[in-house]
């Protein structure tokens, strides 16, 4: 079946140079299209997908897909930080300068007087671990205070929202209803963190990214299109833990 779907997609006027693949997923009910951070297009299809229906849906989405692929393939390199005094780190959309403080048994990463204080680490790797831990804990608390009201607004109930390192993904939604957000999204303004959260919660209703999903997003966030564009502009500059 995947070969037949692949042939149907290959017959479409796909832009030259596109990297793409078909991924059969037994749990899916509808077509899902994902664009990886490096610009590869993944067509996630149910096991019993009709090739003609899939090809027609892909054809309708080609203009928007093309724009996403162009952004992903021309994006700047992943941000790299130096853990030195004065380095800039974002939290909830605001910028804070880094200040190294004496490490001790009770010292911790914290915001203080406009600075992000980091107990002087034994190595860059240790410093990153401390900062990631801080972002993760802050993210858990921030989301815990807001998730219930967002779920009520959408009309869904998740199995819980966790924060962690999701690699190249900013959020995930599993079949059992568990939601995860990347710790790095806590660098974004609150409106964009909410956008990522709503995106994953809407997948509890619609697993794909088609018109039905976009309708759900618009119902939950009337300014969804504005936030989507804003997120796409900010996303390439989010720090994911790389240091020199």
Angle between helix 211-220 and 224-234 (nearest 10)? 100
Angle between helix 190-202 and 124-144 (nearest 10)? 70
Please tell me the predicted confidence (pLDDT) of residue 182.
98
Please tell me the predicted confidence (pLDDT) of residue 2.
60
Please tell me the predicted confidence (pLDDT) of residue 209.
81
pTM of the shown model: 0.78
Please give the Cα distance from 105 to 82 (Å, whole number). Answer: 24
Q: Start-end ranges of CATH 3.30.2010.10 in the chain?
A: 143-237
Please tell me the predicted confidence (pLDDT) of residue 175.
82
Per-residue pLDDT of the chain (244 residues; tens, 9 = 90+): 567 999 999 999 998 889 999 999 887 888 888 888 778 999 999 988 999 999 999 999 999 889 888 887 877 778 999 999 999 999 999 999 999 999 998 899 999 999 999 999 999 999 999 999 999 999 999 999 999 999 999 999 999 999 999 988 899 998 889 999 999 999 999 999 999 999 999 999 998 787 899 999 999 999 999 999 999 889 989 999 999 8
Name which CATH class applies to 143-237: alpha beta
Residues 6+ apart with CB under 8 A from 217: 198, 199, 202, 224, 228
Please tell me the predicted confidence (pLDDT) of residue 1.
52
Question: Which residues partner with 58 through β-bridges?
Answer: none
């Amino acid at each position: 079946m995947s070969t037949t779907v692949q042939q149907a997609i290959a017959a479409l006027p796909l832009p030259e140079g596109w990297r793409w693949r078909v991924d059969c997923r037994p749990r899916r009910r509808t077509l899902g299209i994902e664009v990886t951070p490096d610009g590869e297009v993944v067509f996630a299809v149910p096991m019993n997908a009709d090739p003609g229906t899939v090809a027609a849906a892909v054809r309708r989405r080609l203009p928007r897909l093309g724009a996403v692929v162009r952004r992903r393939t021309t994006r700047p390199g992943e941000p790299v930080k130096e853990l030195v005094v004065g380095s800039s780190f974002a939290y909830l959309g605001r910028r804070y300068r880094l200040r190294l403080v004496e490490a001790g048994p009770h010292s911790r990463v914290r915001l203080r007087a406009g600075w992000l204080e980091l107990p002087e680490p034994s190595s860059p790797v240790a410093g990153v671990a401390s900062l990631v831990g801080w972002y993760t804990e802050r993210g858990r608390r921030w989301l815990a205070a807001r998730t219930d009201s967002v779920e009520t607004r959408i009309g869904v109930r998740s199995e819980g929202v966790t924060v962690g390192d999701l690699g190249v993904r900013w959020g995930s939604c599993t079949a059992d209803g568990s939601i995860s957000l990347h710790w790095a999204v806590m660098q974004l303004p609150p409106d964009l963190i909410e956008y990522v959260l709503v995106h994953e919660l809407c997948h509890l209703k619609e697993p794909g990214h088609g018109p039905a999903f976009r309708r759900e997003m618009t119902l939950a966030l009337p300014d969804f299109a504005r936030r989507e564009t804003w997120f796409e502009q900010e996303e390439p500059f989010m720090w994911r833990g790389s240091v020199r």
